[in-house]
Amino acid sequence: MALKNDFYKKSIIKALYYAGTLSCTELSVQISKSYTLVVKTLEILLSDGLVIEKGYAESSGGRRSMTYSLPADSFYTVAVAMDQFVTRICIYNALKQQVGKVQKLELLLDNQGSNHGAALEVLTAAIQKTITTATIAKEKIIGIGIAMPGFINAQMGANYTFMGEGITTSLQNEIGLPAFIENDSTAIGLAEYHFGKAQKKKNVMVINLSWGIGLGMLIDGHIFRGANGFAGEFSHIPVFKNGKLCSCGKTGCLETETSLLYMIKKALQEIGSGRPLCSIPAYLKAAIMSSKAVIFWKLPVVEIL
């Protein structure tokens, strides 16, 4: 019985986290449980301080319903957004509000196994620092969520492109908090599904145009990972007969002609061959001026220009 009660509590907290504010009737529909059960569970959560009354809903002609939400300080999460060059870390409260400043660090990810351990050490230290310098109790942080590019096995906590296996296990052992990783494009798809333009849509595809080209897919409200768990690696579909080697090991992938990395490389090659900057297309100029491009190519902007 205790396990069932915990499940009902978590279901209500999860529903309120996604929706913000809900009435008993709305919660009953959201978690597919009876109105009476929701009322009883809410009473427990209210007494535990995990849920608060938010006020009466607008009248639709009958008796106004009390609405409920989560206290902002009931729990916190550590959010980590990574790309191949820059990592951003921030803490959010139960109302999805940012707590403190976003911590930004330059962390180069590459697919060379020799660098995996060093990158994970830098990431661990950065997360530790963000937590220790925050003005909140560590015991109120329920977990660490990391969105990063690459071929990711979320269940195993592994990124077979960057950082290798055992990422989440290492973070949990070093920091003492549950840790989870997800492909960045999939994470964007989930965010749009729960909070963005894809709300109330069952089937969602989100294209992530960045250093590579990612694809996040949700079918019937659930992440679609495919047979091998790597569905959505849009940029690694072979579409060109250009013979260019992709980072995944194949040739002619979409990424070899369309990614931001490709545009930067092409722009620098044009400049290196003596072509004046004024004659280079605007999209290539924008790529050159990217601070991330400077990090990757180790060239100061003033020298490029």
Euclidean distance between CA atoms 88 and 98, whole angstroms? 13
Find the farthest-apart pair of alpha carbons in the chain and give their distance in angstroms, rounded: 76
Q: List the chain pLDDT tens, one digit each, 305 residues.
A: 566 788 999 999 999 999 999 999 999 999 999 999 999 999 999 999 999 999 887 766 667 889 999 999 999 999 999 988 889 999 999 999 999 899 999 888 876 666 678 889 999 999 999 999 988 999 999 999 999 988 889 999 999 888 889 999 999 999 999 999 999 999 999 999 999 888 888 898 988 887 778 888 899 989 888 777 777 677 788 888 888 888 777 888 888 887 777 777 777 777 777 766 666 566 555 555 554 444 444 443 333 33
pTM: 0.82
Tokens, residue 263: 């545009």
Question: What does the DSSP 8-state code read for residue 108?
Answer: -
**β-bridge pairing 179-183 and 141-148:** parallel
Q: How far is CA 137 from the centre of its chain?
A: 23
Domains, in order of start, for the chain: 2-69 (1.10.10.10), 76-187 (3.30.420.40), 259-304 (no CATH)
How many Cβ atoms are within 10 Å of 162's Cβ, its own excluded? 23
Ordered DSSP codes for 149-171: -SSEETTTTEETTTTBS-HHHHH
The one-letter code for the residue type at 98 is Q
